[in-house]
Amino acid sequence: MKKALVIGSLLVVLTLSLGGSAASKAAGNGATYEQLRLFTEVLSIVQNQYVDEVPSKDLIYSAIKGTLRGLDPHSAFLDPDSYKEMQVETSGSFGGLGIEITLKDDILTVVSPIEGTPAYRAGLQTGDRIIKIDGLSTKDMQLPDAVKRMRGKPGTKVTITVVREGMTEPKDYEITREQIRVQSVRSHELGDGIMYIKLRQFQEQSPHDLDTALDKFAKNGMKALILDLRNNPGGLLTAAVEVSEKFVEDGKLVVYTEGRIRNQNMRFSAHAKKAYTQIPMVVLVNQGSASASEIVAGALQDYQRAMIVGTQTFGKGSVQTIIPLSDGSGLRLTTAKYFTPKGRSIHGKGIAPDIVVEAPKEPAGKDRPLPNPDPLEELKKDVQLQRALDVIKTMRVMEQQQRSSAQSSQGPQTQSRQ
């Protein structure tokens, strides 16, 4: 049976074993059998005596959902339709609004709107609490159910009701669904050899797109790099590893996972054919940087490979395994937590930046202004990016001073002509 490892809400196909030891199974078999007998007893009573006739499949699905809801916010049952929806997420193209959501304190919460999507243009923000979808309360709603309700045919509309810090009352956002095509990498030259790359999401294509941008910059004389992971909600674990390894030395650990069973204990190390390990580098993060973004930021911070600038990240550090079931449905089950190379667990904590720079808060209840058609002009108004540029310039000055000091310590060189 194939299963899939999930960082954030996207899939990486792996083969795993869910079996425990024979001794532990034997010890629990008796108690489990008794509880299952109680379950079938209740199921039989409901089927025969409940006021309305309910299909057995619906009862079983509801029972499974209840079981998983009691574990943690990220474990869930996926009916066949929801399971198919989950499988399309790695392609970077789907019909919907363009937001990453999670359950935080049992409340449906926006991790991040993806730049350029309907949700982003409408003004949804990181931390928004979604209390209704098309007038239906989201209380006790599971993540797959919420995703299913927000997705739909391009051109159709959905109304999202949100509560936000600073708002005096909930606000409705009527958003028109679009075919969401996320261009994962955007890049610009900022002058003086400083290059800027924004990574919007970790998709299958992201490492290749990043390679293309880096190769182009290298030919143009790249001397420093700013990697922008703000409002990047995560994605594929493999993509996070492949992005990280472009900036750390070969063989270095990028991230590792730990779970209850041995096959969930995995280590991912850098093995890039070409890496940029010497150029000064800054990584921008904020509260919308989650999951795979935190893996990259955490690894580069642990190795002191880059300065992390911005605000505290989201703190999504658990691993979900997508397990297909016999009727086309699936389980989304938390099976492990991931750790940075130095053993830091990010789950519930996030990554603390080396330099904290708060961004101006958008007024509560007001829609996000349209972006400046000139992206470079837009970047000039970005206070976090401007601080990153200052940090880069300081790093380059220090690097030059170290070189001068090293050359001075070597003393005068005697040359001879042969």
For 134-153, what is each residue's pLDDT tens digit? 999 999 888 888 988 998 88
Say if residue 251's pLDDT is above 90: yes
Q: By three-state DSSP, how is residue 39 classified?
A: helix
Q: What is the DSSP letter of 204?
A: T
Say if residue 14's pLDDT is above 70: no
- Report how far apart the first and last C-alpha atoms of the chain are (Å, whole number): 70
pLDDT single digits (tens) 180-209? 877 789 999 999 999 999 999 898 899 999
Query: Pick the catalytic residue: 3, 65, 132, 316?
Result: 316
pLDDT over 90, % of the chain: 51
pLDDT single digits (tens) 20-59? 334 444 546 677 878 888 888 999 999 999 999 999 899 9
Long-range contacts of 50-55 (CB under 8 A, 24+ apart): none
Give yes or no: 291 in active site: yes
Rounded to whole angstroms, the Cα distance separating 366 from 197 reads: 29
Could you write out the DSSP letters of every residue in 297-329? HHHHHHTT-SEEEES------EEEEEEE-TTS-
Could you write out the DSSP letters of every residue in 338-371? EE-TT--B-TTT-PPPSEE-PPPPPPTTPPPPPP
Task: Give the position of tokens 């198919």.
Answer: 84
Rounded to whole angstroms, the Cα distance separating 375 from 389 reads: 16
Give yes or no: 409 in active site: no
Query: Pick the catalytic residue: 128, 145, 228, 302?
Result: 302
Give yes or no: 361 in active site: no
Task: Tell how strand 281-285 and strand 224-228 pair up.
Answer: parallel
Domains and CATH numbers, the chain: 93-181 (2.30.42.10), 185-319+334-402 (3.90.226.10)
Query: Pick the catalytic residue: 82, 112, 244, 291?
Result: 291
Structure-model confidence comparison of residues 28 and 118, the more confident one: 118
* Mean pLDDT, rounded, of the chain: 84
Q: By three-state DSSP, how is residue 12 classified?
A: strand
**What average pLDDT does this structure show over 214-242?**
93
> What per-residue confidence (pLDDT) applies to 364?
53
Can you read off the two tokens belonging to residue 65?
């959902």
CA-based torsion, 12, 13, 17, 18: positive or negative: positive
> What per-residue confidence (pLDDT) applies to 367?
54
**What average pLDDT does this structure show over 153-165?**
93
Total-model pTM: 0.75
> What per-residue confidence (pLDDT) applies to 18?
29
